[in-house]
């Protein structure tokens, strides 16, 4: 099947919220934002704004119809800042005007009186002041101190990995329409309509049934519209309620950058103990993340980071501490991978260091440490890894892409290149067990067409297409006969977010149950009608086939079947509900089975670096990925490639930079570089690991939304390999051996690390300290560090 709305999108006929015709009397809202990272709001002068053309109203906190509080779990975020300003970009007020441009122009005329306050703008400052979103956490197994003390070798380091802007093509937007009986209809570009409904109802002091949220499709989400679409939806709804007319709020790209949160930046520190062969004996690590000014989803993001530090490796003794830092910046939020990429970044960096320390191929170190058979198959959180094939998958990828030969060529010819293979083990399920549920409603009309409601949202990832495929497979109908309806909180109540890579698993299984129920009901009806054995009836190609009592094959059109069922008063709609089995988790002990299964994969990346400038180009990417029995290979291939490229951008070019006063400087495409088609290599190969999901998942498939992003860890490891090769080649040619004592390059300055590499003769120039994003500037200085 092709993407269910591909043709409409190609022709420009697919409607997004900004394409909806506006009702008469609609107004546009624009935000008034704080220019300071931290301050006390003393006064607001809106007089100049109210005199601007087209302006109809000015709304601030005192005007709100309900509590000035976003109804998230922590209840630590105001709808509109009132007394204290917590970050540069925080919304203080709304200007309403007859056009979007008029509203923006008027918002710029609002004068604010602010008393500056000291701000916390970095992880270091937050750590120094014990500024936390929530208390630090830890996960521990074995005897890490004893094992570390006995380890023949130890390497320590400190690394940084930056945040990432979601850069969805469609920015944050909502259109709120007041309805009769004090109800509110809101079109929201959101991954979680149910949460939007809850937040809006709370802000307007309304019952949930009086708020209806619709989402036909999004122009991208990537986690940035899981919770942070809620503020825009609430602002539009509040304004519509106060004005008694429809209100649309669309953030300009610059405002979107400044107001909304990003992927969490992390500082990772680690000491790893290992033997002569590179087997990891102990890991003592620390994760510190910049959460921003409020909790948002930072707690579960950091929990998932803890659960993915092991990635695909068994580590017998470990201790991992997690610090969730509160700063005066945007509240960082969900982003594809949800903390998993940052956790994996730590262990992949550590294994790369071990390999360079021992002067061994990093692939051999990785293969030596991967999960295997018992007892080396238990995660630090107590879940058994039942899949035992990651080592085989990595070896097959290495053979298919000629890894050893390519690596030998680089080494023997002294090329300024690097090559790396890194694996991925990603847990599939929401951290919060109760979110792992979904519902669907399937209706069969008498003309033979079907309407499907489910709780998932389409953001370009192909969810609707996969689910149409499920219906077609079970009912034997053509895809043109099935229409997925707009996601609607009044059709499927209390739906979970389309997130955690579980959209197809949850909503697809609920749809499968609904379609199977409808099929079985019609088979029972028809078997009674024609006196046929139930087992002989099957749906296929728009027909119902059966064998009569004389053994003769018969058939009838499904449209005829549906009409006869209607005349016989047979129910022609069915609901399906699915909750993920087997999962359980104790948040206090951090033990249990938080994930239904794991998705696996591996990528090989080769990169060439110009030692004179630090600029580099990707030469080749080879991916072998585990999607089980794919529900739609074209869609899955797109997700793998897109996820890899987005991860590549996070680790190489997408750099967020702030002014010393807390203002975001990179808030437009002119200053923030996402990858383009020109950044990809000519050789980009994606192949499948052909093995069905061992769990009873939809069609034997596996999730594919988030795991491919972490395949891009091969990019930065290939860059580190290239830098190490360049430095070692230079040292060898001059007869020099240098050791940097574990220093790192940060902001073009060599900074002493808290953790020092074990001083072993000859290993100095192989130890590479390269933070992410690994911009050419950072690569340039990494080559020259001394």
Query: Minimal CA–CA distance to 456: which of 746, 618, 221?
Result: 221
Q: Which of 4, 706, 717, 758 is catalytic?
A: 706
Q: Cα separation of 210 and 206, whole Å? A: 6
Q: Which residues pair with 320 in a beta bridge?
A: 139, 285
* Helix, strand or coil, per DSSP, at residue 434: helix
Whether the Cβ atoms of residue 308 and residue 595 lie closer than 8 Å to each other: no
Q: Cα separation of 56 and 244, whole Å? A: 12
Burial (CB count <10 Å: 0-12, 13-18, 19+), residue 568: exposed
Tell whether the torsion through CA atoms of 338, 343, 346 and 349 is positive or negative: negative
Q: Which residue has the tokens 């329409």?
A: 177
CA torsion, ordered 413, 414, 418, 421, to nearest 10 deg: 50
Q: Cα separation of 523 and 18, whole Å? A: 44
Q: Cα separation of 608 and 410, whole Å? A: 10
The DSSP output letter for 535 is G
Omega into 375 within 30° of 0, i.e. cis? yes
Measure CA 410 to chain center. Answer: 35
Q: Cα separation of 583 and 385, whole Å? A: 14
Q: Which residues pair with 45 in a beta bridge?
A: 111
Whether the Cβ atoms of residue 59 and residue 176 lie closer than 8 Å to each other: no
Rg, Å, the chain Cα set = 28
Q: Cα separation of 411 and 44, whole Å? A: 65
CA distances (Å), origin 56, targets 61, 180, 245, 444:
17, 23, 12, 47
Q: Cα separation of 289 and 339, whole Å? A: 10
CA distances (Å), origin 545, targets 277, 521, 534, 561:
63, 15, 11, 11
The DSSP output letter for 622 is E
Residues 6+ apart with CB under 8 A from 542: 448, 476, 477, 478, 481, 557, 558, 559
CA distances (Å), origin 144, targets 11, 377, 440:
59, 18, 48
706 is catalytic: yes
Task: Dig out the tokens for 296 from the structure.
Answer: 């948002």
E strands in 251-363: 266-274, 280-292, 318-326
CA distances (Å), origin 746, targets 64, 160, 161:
45, 8, 11
The DSSP output letter for 384 is B
Whether the Cβ atoms of residue 142 and residue 317 lie closer than 8 Å to each other: yes
Q: Could you tell me the strand order of the sheet in which 450-454 lies?
A: 482-484, 450-454, 437-444, 573-579
Whether the Cβ atoms of residue 764 and residue 736 lie closer than 8 Å to each other: no
Whether the Cβ atoms of residue 114 and residue 36 lie closer than 8 Å to each other: yes
Show which residues are catalytic: 706
């Amino acid at each position: 099947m092709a993407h269910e709305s591909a043709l409409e999108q190609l022709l420009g006929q697919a409607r997004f919220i900004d394409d909806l015709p506006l009702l008469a009397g609609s107004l546009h809202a624009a935000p008034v934002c704080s220019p300071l990272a931290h301050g006390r709001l003393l006064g607001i002068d809106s007089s100049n704004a109210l005199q601007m053309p087209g302006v109809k109203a000015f709304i601030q906190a005192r005007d709100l119809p309900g509590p000035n509080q976003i109804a998230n779990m922590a209840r630590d975020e105001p709808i509109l800042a009132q007394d204290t300003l917590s970050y540069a970009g925080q919304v203080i007020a709304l200007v309403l005007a007859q056009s979007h441009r008029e509203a923006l122009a008027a918002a710029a005329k609002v004068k604010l009186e602010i008393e500056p306050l000291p701000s916390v703008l970095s992880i270091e400052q937050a750590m120094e002041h014990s500024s936390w979103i929530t208390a630090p956490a830890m996960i521990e197994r074995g005897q890490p101190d004893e094992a570390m003390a006995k380890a023949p070798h130890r390497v320590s380091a400190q690394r940084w990995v930056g945040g990432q802007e979601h850069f969805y093509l469609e920015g944050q937007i909502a259109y709120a329409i007041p309805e009769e009986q004090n109800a509110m209809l809101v079109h929201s570009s959101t991954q979680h309509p149910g949460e939007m409904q809850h937040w809006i109802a709370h802000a307007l002091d309304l019952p949930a049934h009086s708020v209806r949220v619709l989402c036909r499709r999004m122009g991208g989400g990537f986690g940035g519209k899981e919770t942070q679409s809620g503020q825009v939806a609430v602002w539009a709804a509040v304004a519509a309620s106060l004005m008694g007319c429809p209100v649309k709020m669309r953030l300009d790209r610059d405002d979107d950058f400044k107001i909304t949160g990003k992927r969490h930046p992390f500082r990772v520190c680690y000491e790893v103990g290992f033997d002569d062969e590179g087997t990891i004996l102990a890991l003592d690590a620390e994760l510190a993340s910049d959460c921003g000014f409020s909790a948002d989803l930072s707690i579960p993001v950091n929990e998932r980071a803890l659960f993915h530090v092991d990635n695909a490796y068994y580590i017998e003794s470990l201790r991992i501490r997690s610090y969730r830092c509160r700063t005066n910046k945007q509240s960082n939020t969900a982003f594809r991978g949800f903390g998993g990429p940052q956790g994996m970044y730590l262990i992949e960096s550590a294994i790369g260091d071990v390999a360079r320390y021992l002067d061994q191929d990093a692939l051999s170190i990785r293969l030596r440490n991967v999960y295997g058979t018992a007892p080396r198959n238990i995660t630090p959180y107590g879940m058994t890894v039942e899949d035992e094939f990651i080592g085989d998958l990595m070896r097959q990828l290495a053979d298919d892409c000629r890894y050893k030969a390519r690596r030998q060529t680089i080494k023997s010819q002294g090329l300024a290149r690097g090559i790396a293979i890194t694996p991925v083990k990603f847990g599939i399920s929401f951290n919060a067990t109760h979110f792992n549920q979904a519902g669907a409603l399937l209706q069969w009309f008498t003309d033979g067409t079907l309407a499907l409601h489910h709780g998932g949202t389409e953001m370009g990832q192909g969810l609707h297409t996969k689910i149409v495929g499920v219906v077609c497979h079970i009912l034997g109908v053509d895809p043109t006969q099935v229409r997925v309806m707009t996601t609607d909180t009044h059709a499927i109540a209390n739906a979970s977010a389309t997130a955690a890579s579980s959209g197809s698993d949850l909503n697809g299984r609920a749809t499968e149950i609904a379609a199977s129920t409808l099929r079985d009901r019609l088979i029972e009806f028809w078997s009674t009608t024609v006196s046929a054995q139930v087992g002989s009836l099957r749906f296929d190609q728009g027909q119902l086939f059966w064998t009569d009592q004389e053994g003769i094959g018969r058939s009838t059109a499904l449209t005829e079947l549906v009409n006869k069922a209607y005349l016989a008063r047979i129910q022609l709609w069915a609901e399906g509900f699915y909750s993920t089995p087997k999962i359980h988790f104790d948040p206090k002990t951090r033990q249990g089975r938080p994930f239904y299964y794991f998705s696996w994969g591996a990528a090989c990346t080769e990169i060439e670096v110009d030692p004179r400038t630090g600029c580099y180009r990707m030469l080749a990417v080879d991916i072998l990925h585990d999607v089980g029995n794919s529900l739609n290979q074209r869609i899955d291939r797109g997700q793998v490639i897109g996820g890899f490229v987005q991860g590549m951008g996070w680790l190489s070019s997408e750099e967020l930079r702030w002014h010393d006063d807390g203002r975001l400087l990179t808030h437009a495409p002119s200053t923030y570089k996402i990858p383009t088609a020109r950044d990809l290599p000519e050789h980009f190969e994606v192949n499948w690991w052909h093995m069905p999901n061992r769990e009873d998942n939809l069609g034997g498939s596996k999730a594919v939304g988030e795991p491919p992003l972490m395949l891009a860890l091969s990019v930065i490891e290939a860059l580190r390999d290239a830098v190490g090769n360049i430095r070692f080649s230079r040292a060898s040619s001059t007869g020099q051996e240098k050791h940097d004592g574990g220093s790192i390059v940060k902001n073009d300055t060599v900074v002493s690390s808290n953790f020092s590499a074990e001083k072993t003769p000859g290993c100095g120039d192989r130890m590479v300290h390269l933070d992410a994003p690994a911009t050419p500037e950072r690569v340039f200085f990494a080559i020259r560090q001394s």
